[in-house]
């Protein structure tokens, strides 16, 4: 655990300045078929993946939040809950296809069981939780997986405002009865309640193929 935390802390801070070009799925597939890649050092690839991962996860977060706010305004929390149930996964899937990068959100206290952490993700989430509970700021993390061809980019998701509590706070105190019964019927194994503002809610988890990073140059 100690080594692992050490790895998390010095993560790169390139937040707002990431390149914005996008890569289409067809171009990405072409490269995977074996196009000659330009030479970038491993360190450069990791650094660029960190920047790219940050801009992709920001984009995904913004898209989800824009849709969620619209749904809450138009349909109230109970209606928005159904909206999330139907649309959160497709919105994220569409972005995965657009970028040629596998994108997901994961949490040890997931609402949707599909979002529970994998073996690779679990120790990272655990380290983020340790940091959050000990007042250490969580930075994005990147590490090599799948025999070295893929980078796993992760970024903590925090309960940032009271807005989240209408669906992730304490039953009755924050989550209205009508919303709660919808949660119970749609997600009988829900773990994503009882959060407070500032709590770690989960993390973004992106699998970025190194080839896709190289192709951007």
x/- map, 36-75, ligand HEC, by CB under 6 A: --------------------------------x---x---
- Shortest distance in whole angstroms from residue 9 CB to ligand HEC: 23
Binding mask of the shown chain, residues 178 to 207, with x at each position contacting ligand HEC by CB under 6 A? --------------x--------xx-----
* CB distance 138 to 200 below 8 Å: yes
Task: Kindly tell me which of 30 and 97 has the beta carbon lying closer to ligand HEC.
Answer: 97
Binding of ligand HEC at residue 164 (CB under 6 A)? Answer: yes
Closer CB to ligand HEC, 84 or 180, in the complex: 84
What are the residues whose beta carbons fall under 8 Å from the beta carbon of 10, sequence distance 6 or more? Answer: 139
Of the candidate spans 3-11, 135-143, 165-173, 205-213, the one that interacts with ligand HEC by CB under 6 A turns out to be: 165-173
Nearer to ligand HEC, 28 or 83 (CB): 83
Say whether residue 112 binds ligand HEC (CB under 6 A).
Answer: yes
Tell me: does residue 85 bind ligand HEC (CB under 6 A): yes
In the sheet with 150-158, reading across from the earlier edge strand, the strands are 102-106, 200-209, 150-158, 141-145
Contact positions vs ligand HEC (CB under 6 A):
68, 72, 77, 80-81, 84-85, 88-89, 105, 107, 110-112, 115, 157, 159-161, 163-164, 166-168, 192, 201-202
């Amino acid at each position: 655990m100690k080594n692992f935390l050490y790895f998390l802390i010095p993560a790169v801070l390139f937040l707002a300045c990431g390149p914005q070009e996008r890569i289409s799925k067809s171009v990405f597939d072409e490269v995977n078929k074996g196009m000659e890649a330009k030479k970038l050092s491993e360190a450069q690839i990791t650094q660029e993946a960190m920047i790219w991962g940050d801009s992709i996860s920001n984009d995904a977060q913004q898209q989800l939040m824009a849709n969620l706010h619209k749904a809450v305004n138009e349909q109230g929390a109970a209606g928005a809950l159904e909206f999330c149930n139907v649309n959160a996964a497709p919105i994220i899937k569409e972005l995965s296809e657009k970028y040629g990068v596998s994108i997901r959100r994961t949490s040890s206290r997931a609402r949707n069981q599909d979002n529970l952490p994998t073996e690779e993700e679990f120790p990272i989430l655990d380290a983020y939780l340790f940091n959050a509970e000990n007042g250490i700021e969580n930075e994005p993390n990147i590490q090599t997986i799948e025999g070295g061809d893929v980078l796993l980019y992760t970024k903590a998701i925090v309960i940032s405002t009271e807005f989240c509590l209408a669906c992730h706070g304490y039953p009755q105190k924050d989550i209205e009865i009508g919303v709660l019964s919808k949660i119970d019927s749609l997600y009988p194994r829900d773990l994503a309640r009882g959060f407070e503002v500032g709590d770690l809610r989960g993390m973004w988890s992106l699998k970025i193929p190194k080839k896709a990073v190289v192709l951007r140059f």
